[in-house]
Amino acid sequence: MMRLDSGRIRAVVRKEMRDYRRRRAIVVSMLVLPLLFLVEPVVTLFVSLKSQSASHLDQFVVLPLLYLLLIPVIMPGTLAAYTVAGEREQGTLEPLLTTPVRRQEIIAGKAVAIMIPTVALAYTVFGLFLAAVALFARAPVAAAVFRQGPTLLALFLFAPLLAGWAIVVGLAVSVRANEVRVAQQLGTLASLPIVGVVGLLALNVIHPTFTAAALFGVGLLAIDARALRIVARMFDRERLVTGTKAARYRLTARAATLGD
């Protein structure tokens, strides 16, 4: 059984976050993207629901809250695109691959380094949004929002799971893409299924019941874990260095690549 070294994973995380912090394009997009996805909930809760009677409010406040979940889905794309394709583009991937680090450690470190700022920012935005609702929304609207305990809980629980999905898809694209720009464009596809789910909720095709949410959560966790392994396997040293997949290695029948 292979043992991953937490020291090396931490080293990858630290370096990645340092690098991100010093890229203006990344910092700006990490701050601007959440604002874009706040527009819909803000408009709905602060403007559209002004005239609604208090009795119907409960059914109108759930969807804008769920809409906030797009934030953790959208944000990882930029970072994930950079993380492998960017290193390849700037020529730092080869030296990294010459060190004893295992590919699983690289992938784990890079995933964590994206997860931390994404979830931190998403939670901050959720918190600020709820604080704004409590302080500035009409009293009946605020009351209706804070009656949605399960929805609010789901918001905080689903944020990392959805971010995880976006991260693994973004990493997979980044490992395969030769250019950051391509990776970035393809990476946005990660959000499509989630946008679809929110859309179906909005059209009342599916309903946000507890069972549905629980199933969705468990399914997502399983998919995230599985997909992370697939990404680690896609992370083929030979292909990343030379652009061609490792040919079968005749010396040992077992492994196809000089993996790890």
Partner 1 sequence: MPPLLADNAPTLSGSKGQPALVVNQLTKHFGGRSAFSEVTFDVAHGEVFGFLGPNGAGKTTAVRTLGTLIAPTSGSAIVAGIPLTPENGVEIRQRIAIMPEAPGLYLRLTVTENLEYFASLYGLPHAASRISDALEAVNLADRAGDLCGGLSKGLRQRVGLARTLLSNPAIMFLDEPTSGLDPVASREVHELILGLRQKGVTIFLTTHRLAEAEKLCDRVAILNTTLRIIGRPEDLRAQLFTTALVIRTRVALRAPDQIFTRIPAVESWRSDEPGSYVLSVSDPKIAAPEVARVLVGAGADVLAIGEAQHSLEDVYLELVADDVEASRE
Ligand X SMILES: Nc1ncnc2c1ncn2[C@@H]1O[C@H](COP(=O)(O)OP(=O)(O)OP(=O)(O)O)[C@@H](O)[C@H]1O
Of the candidate residues 242, 245, 249, 255, the single one contacting ligand X (CB under 6 A):
242
Count the residues of the shown chain that bind partner 1, applying the rule CB under 8 A. 42
Sole window of 52-60, 93-101, 132-140, 162-170 interacting with partner 1 (rule: CB under 8 A): 93-101
Percent helix, strand and coil across the chain, each rounded to 5?
A: 80, 0, 20
Amino acid code (one letter) for 46: F
* C-alpha span between 243 and 94 (Å, rounded): 12
CA 48, chain centre distance (Å): 30
Is 58 a binding residue for partner 1 by CB under 8 A? The answer is no
Whether the CB-CB separation of 174 and 187 falls below 8 Å is answered with yes
Interacting span for ligand X (CB under 6 A) from 92-100, 145-153, 215-223, 236-244: 236-244
Under rule CB under 6 A, how many of the chain's residues touch ligand X?
Answer: 3
Sign of CA dihedral 8, 9, 14, 15: positive
> Using CB distances below 5 to 8 A depending on partner kind, what does residue 93 bind out of partner 1, ligand X, none?
partner 1
In the three-class reduction of DSSP (H, G, I as helix; E, B as strand; rest coil), residue 168 is classed as helix
Q: Contact between 48 and ligand X (CB under 6 A)? A: no
Looking at 101-109, 155-163, 201-209, 241-249, which segment touches ligand X (CB under 6 A)? Answer: 241-249
Nearer to ligand X, 85 or 141 (CB): 85
Q: Which is nearer to ligand X, 204 or 244 (CB)?
A: 244
Picking from 40, 22, 69, 89, the residue whose alpha carbon sits closest to that of residue 166 is 69
Q: Which two tokens stand for residue 244?
A: 């061609």
Stretch that binds ligand X, among 28-36, 74-82, 186-194, 238-246 (CB under 6 A): 238-246
Candidate residues 205, 243, 250, 254; the one interacting with ligand X per rule CB under 6 A: 243
| Using rule CB under 6 A, residue 149 touches ligand X | no
- How far is 61 from 149, CA to CA, in rounded Å? 12
What does the alpha-carbon distance between residue 129 and residue 41 come to, in Å, rounded to a whole number?
9
> Which region among 8-16, 151-159, 205-213, 220-228 touches partner 1 (by CB under 8 A)?
8-16
Under 8 Å between Cβ of 257 and 199: no
DSSP-assigned letters across all residues of 212-254: HHHHHHHHHHHHHHHHHHHHHHH--HHHHHHSSPPPP-TT-SS
Using the rule CB under 6 A, which residue among 53, 204, 244, 252 binds ligand X?
244
* Contacted entry of ligand X, partner 1, none for residue 89, CB cut-off 5 to 8 Å set by kind: none
Exposure of 64 by Cβ count < 10 A (0-12 exposed, 13-18 middle, 19+ buried)?
Answer: buried
Residues that bind partner 1 (CB under 8 A): 5, 7-8, 10-12, 14-15, 18-19, 22-23, 90-102, 237-238, 241-242, 244, 246-247, 249-252, 254-255, 257-260
Binding site for ligand X (CB under 6 A): 242-244
